[in-house]
Amino acid sequence: MFEASTKVANASAVKPFEIYPGREQLGALGQLLKNARQPIAIVGGSGWSSAAVQQLVHFAERFALPVAVGFRRQMLFPANHASFVGDLGIGANPRLVARIKTSDLVLAIGTRLSEAATQGYTLFNIPNPATTLVHVHADPSELGRVYRASLAINATPTAFADALKDLDPPAELAWSRLTQEARAEYLVWSDPSVITAPGNLQVAKVMQYLIDRLPEDAVICNGAGNYAIWIHRFFRFRQFGTQLAPTSGSMGYGVPAGVAAKTLFSDRAVVVFAGDGCFLMNGQEFATAVQYKLPIIVILIDTACTEPFACIRSAAIQAVCMELI
C-alpha cells in the first residue's frame, strides 16, 4: 500500500459553520453587565479571526471593560490597548489574579477555563463559582463540565463577537476606574525596569528591545519551557495572528512553527524562542528552512546552565538583535 496509487475526486472545501448566541442570551448578558460593579472578560480558545478580535476591542472600548487573555492567547487582544490587563498563563500577575477572584462578573469567551487559565483551578469554586460567570464556548460539552455558569452561551467566538455590537453599555460605567487601575498594574508588571535578574543579560530588556524593533505583524513562536515566562510577561503582542505557542506542554514546537509561519507569511518577520531541549527535539527542521529559503530567527536559551538567568549567550542575542535592526 505504500507504493500503490489511486484516483479520487477532489472534495469540496469545508467552511466552518458559526453558532450564534440567542437573543434572550444576549439580553441576559446585557442585564448582567448593567448590574455589575467589577466585571472582567477572559478571552481564549481557538476559532478567532482578525475581524472578531477587532469587534471585541470595539466592545471593550464601549463598555470600558478590562480584558485578560488565557494561556498563550495574547494575540487575541492588543497589549497596547487601554482595556488590556494581562494574561493568565504561567506566572500570572498576582494582582490580576486577585482582581478576578473579587470580580462580581466574569465573561469568559472562547476559553475552556482549563488548568492554566484558572491558575490550577483556583480562580473559581468548583462546581459553583462564587462570582457570576458567563461562559461562552463553541463546544456545548465544555459548558458546565467543570464550572456551573450563571449564563452559559453556546456560540463560536466569531459569531459571539459579531453579536456584541447589539449590546448597549449602561449609562454609567461604574467600573471604569477599576479598569484604569488594572491597566496600570499590568503596565508595571510588564515593565522590564521593575525587575533585575542575576547575571549580566537582562532577558526582560531583550523583550523590550524586540518590541521596539520588530514590526507589529511579526510572528513570535516558542515551545514549552520556563523560558517562555519572559515572553508572556514582557513581550506585548499587538496584532492577531502573531503568536504560535503550544497550550499542551509540547516541547519542540517552536522551530517547526517558525518554519510554517515563514512559509505562509514570507514577508513577515518570524522569531522563534527555543530552550536547549526544545531545539534539540526539532532542530532538524532547519534543513526545511534552508531547502525552501525561509529565513527565520531562533533565539536559543540554554536552560541547563548552572547560573540562573544568565543562560542566554549574550553574543548570540547581540547577533540576533543586530540582524533585526
pLDDT given at position 305: 55
Mean pLDDT of 31-42: 97
Check pLDDT > 80 for residue 317: no
Q: Can you list the alpha helix ranges (DSSP code H) found in 5-131?
A: 23-35, 50-63, 94-102
Beta bridge partners of 121: none
**Per-residue pLDDT at 190 exceeds 80:** yes
Q: What is the DSSP string of 96-159?
A: HHHHHHH-SEEEEES----TTTTTTTTSS-SSS-SSEEEEEES-GGGTTTSS--SEEEE--HHH
Among candidate residues 161, 193, 194, 143, the one with its CA nearest the CA of residue 43: 161
Give, for 280, the enclosing helix (H) or strand (E).
helix 276-282
pLDDT value, residue 199: 79
Q: Specify the pLDDT at position 314.
A: 43
pLDDT digits (tens, 9 = 90+) for 77-112: 999 999 999 999 988 999 999 999 999 999 999 999
Sign of the Cα pseudo-torsion (293, 296, 297, 299, in order): negative
Enter the pTM of the model.
0.89
Give the model's pLDDT for residue 63.
98
Percent of the chain with pLDDT over 70: 93
Instruction: Tell me what the pLDDT averaged over the chain comes to.
Output: 91
pLDDT band at 311 (very low <50, low <70, confident <90, very high): very low
**Does residue 121 carry a pLDDT above 60?**
yes
Cross-strand bridge partners of residue 152:
135
Question: Is the model's pLDDT at 72 over the cut of 50?
Answer: yes
| pLDDT at residue 244, as a whole number | 96
pLDDT at residue number 304: 62
| pLDDT (0 to 100) of residue 312 | 45
Assign 277 a pLDDT band (cuts: 50, 70, 90): confident
**Amino acid 1: pLDDT:** 76
Calculate the alpha carbon distances from 113 to 45, 159, 179, 307 in Å.
9, 19, 22, 36
pLDDT > 90? residue 248: no
d(CA 297, CA 276): 15
* Structural domains of the chain ordered from first start: 23-189 (3.40.50.1220), 192-324 (3.40.50.970)
Q: Looking at residue 12, what DSSP letter applies?
A: P
Q: What is the dihedral of CA 228, 233, 238, 243, to 10 degrees?
A: 20
| 54 pLDDT above the threshold of 90 | yes
- What is the structure's pLDDT at 200? 82
Please state, in angstroms and rounded to a whole number, the distance separating the CA atoms of residues 228 and 301: 10
CB 251 within 8 A of CB 277: yes
Q: Are 240 and 74 in contact (CB under 8 A)?
A: no
| C-alpha count within 13 angstroms, C-beta hemisphere, residue 21 | 29
